[in-house]
């Protein structure tokens, strides 16, 4: 059995980061909204915290690898055009849903938002359907 402690610690750090961002900045920690805000014209110095937040995500992942934590092997056998299409559809979907899985799933559910609950149920349902269709209908290897 694998230890659940790293996942627990990671989840607690994500929750703490979301609470601190809301407390000190009044913002929801939705990664697509934070990244999308970098593409919009800057309003009242809002760019610095977005850059720091995203930089923290990258540096945090780098630190875990640098400290020698065990890594899952990368998946093989997924066609690159399909991955690109999936990324574009995901970006479009987050725009339609008014936020991404991190914004709705971590922050919205934590605030007991009914809209976020509906969004998360749709995200999970579509992910399950997509997995089924790719693996069992299209024959893409796991």
* Per-residue pLDDT tens digits for 20-78: 888 988 888 888 888 888 888 877 777 888 899 899 989 988 998 898 877 778 777 77
Indicate the pLDDT class of residue 88, thresholds 50, 70 and 90.
confident
In a domain? residue 142: no
Section 112-135 average pLDDT: 89
In a domain? residue 94: yes
Domain that holds residue 75: 5-137
Quote the pLDDT of residue 74: 75
Section 96-105 average pLDDT: 80
In a domain? residue 21: yes
Distance from chain centroid for Cα 66 = 22
| pLDDT of residue 19 exceeding 70 | yes
CB 117 within 8 A of CB 43: no
Quote the pLDDT of residue 125: 92
Quote the pLDDT of residue 86: 83
In a domain? residue 66: yes
In a domain? residue 84: yes
CB 53 within 8 A of CB 34: yes
In a domain? residue 65: yes
Quote the pLDDT of residue 134: 83
Tokens standing for 16?
A: 């703490």
Tally of domains in the chain? 1
In a domain? residue 79: yes
Section 120-132 average pLDDT: 89
In a domain? residue 109: yes
105-117, pLDDT tens digit by residue? 888 888 899 998 9
Indicate the pLDDT class of residue 121, thresholds 50, 70 and 90.
very high
CB 31 within 8 A of CB 100: yes
Q: What is the 3-state secondary structure (H, E, C) of 48-105?
A: HHHHHHHHHHHHHHHHHHHCCCCCCCCCCCCCHHHHHHHHHHHHHHHHHCCCCHHHHH
Burial 10-37 (b: 16+ CB within 10 A, else e): eeeeeeebbeebeeeeebbbbbbbbbeb
CA distances from 93 to 15, 26, 35, 76, 115 (A): 24, 24, 15, 25, 15
């Amino acid at each position: 059995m694998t230890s659940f402690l790293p996942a627990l610690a990671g989840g607690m750090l994500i929750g703490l980061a979301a609470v601190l961002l809301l407390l000190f900045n009044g913002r929801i920690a939705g990664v697509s909204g934070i990244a999308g805000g970098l593409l919009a014209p800057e309003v009242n110095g809002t760019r610095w915290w977005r850059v720091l937040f995203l930089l923290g995500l990258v540096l945090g992942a780098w630190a875990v690898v640098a400290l020698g934590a065990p890594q899952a092997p990368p998946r093989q056998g997924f066609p690159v055009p399909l991955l690109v299409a999936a990324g574009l559809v995901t970006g479009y979907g987050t725009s339609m849903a008014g936020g991404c899985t991190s914004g709705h799933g971590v922050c919205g559910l934590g605030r007991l938002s009914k809209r976020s609950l509906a969004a998360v149920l749709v995200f999970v349902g579509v992910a399950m359907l997509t997995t089924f269709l790719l693996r069992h209908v299209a024959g893409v290897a796991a």
